């Protein structure tokens, strides 16, 4: 099975929204900490705000991270920049702002690999995929990025406009926010993706045989924070692990090889 990226021969370890166990998720300190700790990759989320900027934040509603009951897509970038998305993690992070994807690339560059989750709520083309691709190309990070989404139509659109230039995946779990038809990876037929990104609860010997061994999909799974869980998944043959506390798993992941 080929690795996600050309220069890697080990399973990939990604910091979930950066090093979110320590720093506030999806902020520049969280991504910079991954660089500092030698974590090879980060998983992050991108939305388009009202004025069209590509911002890095997970939830569409920002109440959880900012205390304000507001929607990313309904605010201008200037309005978003006024929000404090760090204090919820600790007062040492007070005043941290929602970053642009371009700012993450400026600071971390090719020191990291990036799993970029596209936050698209429906099938409408709002330009999210094009702006994401343009930003990746502007920083010459094509060989350092992979794309994923719960929305298979967003992945299909990205793959069409880029001619399948990057590894891409549908994300899925059995959560209420995921349509039943997409809860077990069926969205791959729409997305024409190259790997799969299931919740760890759906990774088993049987599913690895079905998707990994028989159908040839590399598997990247989330969110793994214990060494025992990580070891069990690596023994099954997963190609990628996403963790809130990736530093605890780094030495373990280094023991495994792929390709």
Instruction: List helix spans (H) across the chain.
Output: 28-37, 63-66, 77-81, 101-108, 128-138, 152-162, 188-191, 205-207, 227-236, 250-253
**Beta strand segments in the chain, E:** 12-16, 41-48, 54-56, 113-118, 145-149, 168-172, 195-198, 220-221, 240-243
d(CA 206, CA 131) in angstroms, rounded, equals 38
CB atoms within 10 A of CB 7: 8
> What angle in degrees, to the nearest 10, is found between the helix axes of 152-162 and 128-138?
50
132-161: string of b/e by CB count within 10 Å (b at 16+)? bbebbeebebeebbbbbbbbbbbbbbbbee
CA-nearest of 148, 245, 252, 142 to 195 is 148
| Among 47, 58, 144, 212, the one annotated catalytic | 58
Q: Is 209 a catalytic residue?
A: no
8 A C-beta contact, residue 221 and residue 200: yes
Q: Is 58 a catalytic residue?
A: yes
Query: What DSSP element (H or E) covers 255?
Result: none
| Among 16, 47, 144, 212, the one annotated catalytic | 16
- State the catalytic residues: 16, 58
């Amino acid at each position: 099975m080929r690795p996600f990226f050309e220069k890697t021969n080990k399973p990939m370890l990604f910091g979930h929204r950066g090093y979110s166990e320590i720093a506030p998720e999806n902020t520049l300190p969280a991504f910079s900490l991954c660089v500092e700790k030698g974590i090879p990759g980060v998983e992050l989320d991108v939305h388009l705000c009202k004025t069209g900027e590509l911002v890095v934040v997970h939830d569409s509603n920002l109440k959880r991270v900012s205390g304000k009951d507001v929607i990313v897509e309904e605010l201008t970038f200037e309005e978003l920049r006024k929000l404090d998305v760090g204090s919820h993690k600790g007062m040492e992070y007070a005043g941290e702002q929602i970053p642009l994807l371009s700012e993450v690339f400026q600071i971390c560059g090719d020191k990291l690999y990036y799993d970029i989750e596209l936050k698209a709520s429906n099938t409408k083309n709002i330009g999210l995929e094009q702006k994401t691709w343009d930003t990746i190309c502007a920083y010459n990070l094509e060989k350092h990025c992979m794309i994923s989404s719960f929305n298979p139509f967003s992945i299909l659109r990205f793959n069409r406009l880029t001619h399948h230039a990057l590894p891409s995946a549908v994300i899925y779990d059995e959560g209420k926010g995921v349509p039943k038809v997409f809860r077990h990876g069926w969205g791959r037929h729409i997305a024409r993706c190259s790997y799969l990104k299931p919740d760890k609860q759906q990774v088993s010997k049987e599913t690895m045989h079905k998707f990994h061994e028989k159908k040839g999909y590399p598997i990247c799974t989330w969110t793994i924070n214990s060494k025992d869980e990580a070891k069990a998944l690596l023994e099954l043959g997963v190609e990628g692990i996403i963790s809130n506390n990736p530093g605890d798993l780094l030495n373990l992941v280094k023991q495994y090889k792929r390709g």
